[in-house]
């Protein structure tokens, strides 16, 4: 039996939290792809597809605002278990969708279920990210390293979820996919409930809800930057690019649809896996072990502007192409993979800086507030994804993404070294 006496304090709890988060994100990624592709084949427009994810993102905004206070009051393990349990219920509810319902009823039902899934996702995320602040060793770049491992591995698993969702839809169909994922998640939840070690705080009485709102200028500016960063990603990620790829890959037959599902799912999976891999290695890429937080703030500004250049160039490419063609599709694939690499470094820096800026006694509230901003950005991006693609296709969609990244870079430029703060 392996000797655990030499492990860093809190590592067993960190491993348990990470494992639970992995299981959740696998089903979350699969659910997104299943819903998107299933309803697209039923004839839903880009705007209608975007509507399906609106409550998911709205729920994220509300949940993150409240989850920090709930975790501070009742403990991080409580919010983690609640997130996993709620996702099981959401998957079971999605399996009850009746294909004979009229479009309006289907949209409303899926929106409500996606809202529950959004609540589940952000309860699990806030719990996991906050746990890192409390469990990670403070010296030798430990915080950045543990944050990067959790965030990067989570996104690689979510990428596998995209591929899993597309594969399940092509082989098992919509209903059995939902039931299978719910069963697996129940097993994971029971295992975590039984095996979760000590190490996470149980909560404290007397926590006021008003404490959720941060008084730190750095936390607020970084949260604002997060809104536009993730808005810029989801403008193309949620609806526009998958629908564009479907249009160029499938002629509408059953066999064509199956091929398109696998190819789209594979690309989305590879993008998120690459994103997660870069995130996990961001401390090494940035040489964070030898750099203080103040220097990493300056580094974040440079990487933010590098990111803005990518969708700006792709916008020009889309305008020149005018319509779908092979060289445009290849350019989009290459450009979006580059976007994923640079985006991952930006996201990893943000995830480290928010935990660096906050204090242990209010970590759940600052992280909850920060991820509320994250969810607000995803909400804006989701709505704009369907709307911009339907109005003017790729050029408008990618142009809006470039504009939002530029706004994020401006916000990052307003961060100040902690020692200069009053």
The string of pLDDT tens digits covering residues 64-84 is 777 666 766 667 777 788 888
Mean pLDDT of 318-329: 88
Mean pLDDT of 51-76: 74
Q: Give pLDDT, residue 295.
A: 83
Supply φ then ψ for residue 75, to 5 degrees: 105, 150
Mean pLDDT of 268-274: 85
pLDDT over 50 (residue 6): no
Determine the Cα–Cα distance for residues 63 and 58; give it in Å rounded to an integer.
8
Summarised one tens digit per residue, pLDDT across range 361-416 is 667 677 777 878 888 898 899 889 888 988 888 999 999 999 999 999 999 989 88
Number of H helices, E strands in the chain: 14, 0
Summarised one tens digit per residue, pLDDT across range 138-151 is 555 566 677 777 77
Altogether, the residues listed in the chain come to a count of 422
Q: Give pLDDT, residue 259.
A: 81
pTM above threshold 0.85: no
Q: Give pLDDT, residue 422.
A: 38
pLDDT over 50 (residue 2): no
Q: Which residues contact 43 (CB under 8 A, 6 or more apart)?
A: none
pLDDT over 70 (residue 121): yes
Contact between 174 and 33 under an 8 Å Cβ cutoff? The reply is no
Give the pLDDT band of residue 213 (cuts 50, 70, 90).
low
Contact between 36 and 49 under an 8 Å Cβ cutoff? The reply is yes
Nearest to 141 by CA among 422, 419, 348: 348
Give the pLDDT band of residue 420 (cuts 50, 70, 90).
very low
Q: Give pLDDT, residue 142.
A: 61
Nearest to 236 by CA among 320, 154, 335: 335
Q: Give pLDDT, residue 84.
A: 85
Top mean pLDDT of 4-18, 59-73, 296-310 is at: 296-310
Tell me the CA end-to-end span of the chain in Å, nearest whole number. 51
Q: Give pLDDT, residue 303.
A: 92
Summarised one tens digit per residue, pLDDT across range 217-264 is 888 899 999 999 999 999 988 888 888 888 888 776 777 777 887 888
Hey, what domains does the chain have and what are their CATH numbers?
11-196+215-417 (1.20.1250.20)
Is the C-alpha dihedral spanning 184, 28, 116, 43 positive or negative? negative
Mean pLDDT of 342-349: 91
Please provide the average confidence, as pLDDT, over all residues in the chain: 80
Instruction: Give the pair of three-digit tokens for residue 249.
Output: 């890959």
Q: Give pLDDT, residue 8.
A: 52
């Amino acid at each position: 039996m392996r000797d655990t006496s030499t492990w860093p304090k809190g590592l067993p709890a960190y491993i348990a939290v990470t494992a639970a988060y992995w299981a959740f994100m696998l089903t979350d990624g699969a659910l997104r792809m299943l819903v998107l592709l299933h309803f697209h084949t039923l004839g839903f427009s880009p705007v209608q597809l975007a509507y399906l994810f609106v409550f998911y993102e709205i729920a994220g905004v509300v949940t993150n605002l409240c989850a920090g206070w709930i975790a501070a009051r009742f403990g991080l393990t409580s919010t983690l278990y609640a997130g996993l349990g709620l996702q099981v219920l959401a998957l079971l509810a999605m399996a009850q969708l009746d294909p004979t319902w009229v479009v309006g009823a289907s949209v409303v039902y899926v929106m409500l279920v996606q809202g529950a899934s959004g609540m589940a996702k952000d309860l699990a995320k806030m719990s996991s990210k906050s746990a890192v602040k409390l469990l990670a060793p403070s010296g030798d770049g430990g915080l950045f390293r543990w944050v990067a491992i959790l965030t990067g591995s989570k996104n690689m698993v979510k990428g596998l979820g995209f591929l899993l969702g597309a594969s399940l839809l092509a082989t098992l169909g919509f209903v059995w996919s939902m039931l299978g994922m719910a069963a697996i998640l129940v097993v994971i939840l029971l295992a975590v409930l039984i095996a979760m070690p000590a190490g996470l705080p149980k909560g404290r009485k007397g926590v006021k809800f008003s404490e959720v709102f941060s008084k730190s200028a750095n936390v607020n500016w970084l949260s604002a930057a997060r809104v536009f960063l993730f808005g810029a990603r989801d403008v193309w990620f949620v609806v526009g690019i998958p629908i564009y790829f479907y249009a160029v890959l499938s002629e509408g037959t059953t066999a064509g649809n199956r091929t398109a599902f696998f190819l789209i799912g594979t690309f989305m999976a590879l993008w998120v896996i690459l994103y997660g891999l870069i995130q996990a290695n961001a401390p090494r890429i940035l040489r964070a072990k030898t750099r203080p937080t103040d220097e990493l703030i300056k580094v974040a500004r440079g990487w933010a502007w590098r990111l803005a250049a990518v969708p700006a160039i792709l916008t020009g490419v889309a305008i020149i192409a005018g319509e779908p063609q092979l060289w445009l599709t290849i350019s989009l694939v290459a450009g979006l993979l580059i976007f994923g690499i640079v985006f991952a470094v930006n996201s990893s820096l943000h995830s480290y800086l928010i935990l660096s800026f906050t204090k242990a006694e209010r970590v759940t509230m600052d992280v909850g507030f920060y991820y509320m901003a994250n969810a607000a950005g995803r909400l804006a991006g989701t709505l704009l994804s369907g709307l911009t693609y339907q109005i003017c296709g790729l050029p408008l969609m990618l142009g809006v993404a470039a504009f939002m990244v530029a706004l994020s870079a401006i916000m990052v430029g307003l961060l100040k070294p902690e020692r200069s703060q009053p």
